[in-house]
Amino acid sequence: MLYGSIEAGGTKFVCAIANEHLEITERVSFPTTVPEETMKQVIAFFEQYKNELAAIGVGSFGPIDIHQDSKTYGYITSTPKLAWQNFDFVGTLKKVFDIPITWTTDVNAAAYGEYVFGQGKGLSSVVYYTVGTGIGGGAIQEDQFIEGFSHPEMGHMLVVPHPDDNFKGNCPFHGNCLEGMAAGPAIEARAGKKGQDIPADDPVWEIEASYIAQCAYNTTLLFSPDVIIFGGGVMKQRHMVEKVHRAFEELLNNYVKTPKIENYIVTPSLEDDAGTFGCLALAKKADLHVN
């Protein structure tokens, strides 16, 4: 019995196979080009295991249609990546693999990975953000994703500009939303170089921390979760989490008593594997549900 994982990202796809204990036995990666090419590689990879494959979990870039009763369930919808607009992702897989296929956003998948195996293990309510090329968020309550007419788009919450920041924000929809002010490309546009090349003592990180802290503040007041996890490339700056703690405590001003800050606002313990483990755990859950 094997489980498959597809992490469909805007720049690359990562596919993995795991055994029933969710130990990864093989993993491959392909660049995200056009569906005809990339999906062919995905299908060829899983076809090797067709006889033993019990379920596949997909975590996809979006926006995606997650409504089971919708005609376009399983599609990537209005993505800026033109070749993938209105692409029937789940349908394409189902034609070849007649097994349960779970379908959620890439950030929900990472949130689920951390919920089952990482910083959310044993907790009932987890919110996860990725701060990378964009900012996305996913929330889980008692093993279910929080969603309504669609999946959340928490990365586009509005933030109040830092007094020392004259950058106007680069989200094409909202300007100074969190993604527009604090994702990797915003850091680069403000500083003239990529985040990974900016030293830890540069004042840009205090500005960055103030936006991430506003996100943690909003998240705290909206969900009162047990933990808030910040992952993604930008959070590889290990000094950031402490700056966020300070800015968050100042903002919250003891209005509510959160869990101890070091255990409350954290970075992912699965690092870059959160999405893959989340997809695998979702695949296993779907398999157990039908059998």
Task: For residue 70, report the phi and psi dihedrals to the nearest 5 degrees.
Answer: -85, 150
156 is in the binding site of which of Zn ion, ligand ADP, none (Cβ under 5 to 8 A by kind)?
Zn ion
d(CA 156, CA 146): 16
Residue 130 or 258: which CB sits closer to ligand ADP?
130
31 vs 91, which CB is nearer to ligand ADP?
31
Closest contact distance (angstroms) between CB of 215 and Zn ion is 13
Minimum Å gap between C-beta 80 and Zn ion is: 12
Residue 174 binds which of Zn ion, ligand ADP, none (CB < 5-8 A, kind-dependent):
Zn ion
Compute how many other C-beta atoms are within 10 angstroms of the C-beta atom of residue 106. Answer: 24
* Residues forming the site for Zn ion (CB under 5 A): 156, 171, 173-174, 177, 179
63 binds, among Zn ion, ligand ADP, none (CB under 5 to 8 A by kind): none
> Smallest gap, in angstroms, from Cβ of residue 243 to Zn ion?
23
Spatial neighbors of 222 by CB under 8 A, at least 6 apart, are none
In the complex, the smallest distance separating the C-beta of residue 148 from ligand ADP, rounded to whole angstroms, is 25
Whole-angstrom distance, CA of residue 228 vs CA of residue 152: 15
Q: Cis link prior to 163 (omega < 30° from 0)?
A: no
One-character DSSP codes across 21-73: T--EEEEEEEE---HHHHHHHHHHHHHTTTTTEEEEEEEE-SSB---TTSTTT
Nearer to Zn ion, 115 or 129 (CB): 129
Quick one: what does residue 285 bind among ligand ADP, Zn ion, none, with the CB cut-off 5 to 8 Å set by partner type? none
Q: How far is CA 2 from CA 13, 46, 57, 263, 291, in A?
A: 19, 10, 12, 34, 14
Separation of alpha carbons 273 and 55, rounded Å: 19
Residues lying near ligand ADP in the complex (CB under 6 A) are found at 9, 11, 132-133, 184-185, 188, 194-196, 232-234, 236-237
Of residues 71 and 238, the one with the C-beta less far from ligand ADP: 238
Whose Cβ is closer to ligand ADP: residue 13's or residue 89's?
Answer: 13
- Measured from the CB of residue 237, what is the shortest distance to ligand ADP in angstroms? 5
